């Protein structure tokens, strides 16, 4: 079975290294490309992704990449053949998250970029040393300007929940049982508002399921894209 190419969007502070373990698990059956949206808004990032994406594709986003993927899918261009959203939600940034982003931007602008990384990396990595090292390296190499742009984008994102019922492509929504950034209830709520969605919960994982549980993430994607039966909504990690 020939699948459309997968365009995979990384999270805030992340690059292709976030998705690479999943790509490795998927193997030769799927053509995968990682595209990082650029800009200071979710809309601008979506514009950038669409400018470099092929005519038809499967869109896969995680966290901030999920916000961008949702923005693209809601535009109904006809180019998105299927959608997969990992560790993401459709809500606007809560006030405490907005204040956190404002504080991080101020810290970076005052010369504290490395301190900002040490504050943010543990939450998305659950403090797992090998995951945290990758997270810190990705964020530092992307640089402070990208970090600030992305904080602006996520803190000013819109609530999209009222628009979800009109979604016109089938969707996979993946949450993680130990995700403190996007608790699984938010992912499940997202799936429940979509007209054609499958929800999968990955156990033993936090916010970056693509790094912590790449096999489970790949299994969920494969089953979804092959149109295999849902079975249990639980995917148990290693």
Q: Where are the domains of the chain?
A: 6-91+158-235, 95-153
Return the HEC string of 124-176.
HHCCCHHHHHHHHHHHHHHCHHHHHHHHHHHHCCCCCHHHHHHCCCCEEEEEE
- Residue-wise pLDDT for 141-160, tens only, equals 999 999 999 999 999 999 99
Per-residue pLDDT, 167: 95
Q: Judge contact between 208 and 122, C-beta under 8 A.
A: no
How many whole angstroms separate alpha carbon 134 and alpha carbon 130?
Answer: 7
Q: Judge contact between 25 and 133, C-beta under 8 A.
A: no
- Residue-wise pLDDT for 31-75, tens only, equals 999 999 999 999 999 999 999 999 999 999 999 999 999 999 999
Confidence tier at 218 by pLDDT (50, 70, 90): very high
- What percentage of the chain exceeds 70 in pLDDT? 95
How many whole angstroms separate alpha carbon 231 and alpha carbon 185?
Answer: 20
From the candidate CATH numbers 3.90.1170.50, 3.40.980.10, 3.40.190.10, 3.40.50.1820, the one assigned to the domain spanning 6-91+158-235: 3.40.50.1820
Per-residue pLDDT, 237: 46
Per-residue pLDDT, 229: 66
Sheet with 32-34: list strands edge to edge.
32-34, 6-9, 57-62, 80-86, 171-176, 197-202, 234-235
């Amino acid at each position: 079975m020939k699948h459309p190419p997968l365009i995979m969007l990384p999270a805030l502070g992340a690059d292709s290294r976030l998705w690479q373990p999943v790509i490795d698990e998927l193997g030769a059956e799927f053509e995968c490309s990682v595209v990082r949206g650029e800009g200071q808004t979710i809309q601008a990032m979506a514009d950038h992704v669409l400018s470099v994406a092929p005519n038809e594709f499967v869109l896969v986003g995680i966290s901030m990449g999920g916000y961008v993927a949702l923005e693209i899918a809601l535009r109904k261009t006809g180019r998105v053949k299927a959608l997969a959203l990992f560790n993401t939600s459709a809500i606007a940034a809560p006030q405490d998250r907005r204040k956190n982003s404002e504080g991080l931007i101020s810290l970076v602008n005052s010369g504290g970029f490395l301190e900002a990384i040490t504050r943010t990396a543990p939450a998305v990595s659950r403090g797992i040393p090998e995951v945290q090292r990758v997270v810190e390296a990705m964020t530092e190499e992307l640089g402070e300007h990208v970090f600030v742009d992305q904080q602006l984008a996520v803190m000013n994102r819109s609530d999209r929940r009222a628009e979800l019922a009109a979604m016109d492509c089938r969707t996979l929504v993946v949450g993680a049982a130990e995700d403190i950034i996007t608790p699984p209830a938010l992912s499940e709520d997202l799936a429940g508002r979509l007209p054609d969605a499958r929800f999968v919960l990955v156990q033993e994982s936090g916010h970056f399921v693509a790094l912590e549980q790449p096999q489970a993430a790949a299994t969920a994607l494969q089953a979804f894209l092959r149109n295999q039966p849902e079975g249990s909504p639980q995917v148990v990690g290693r």
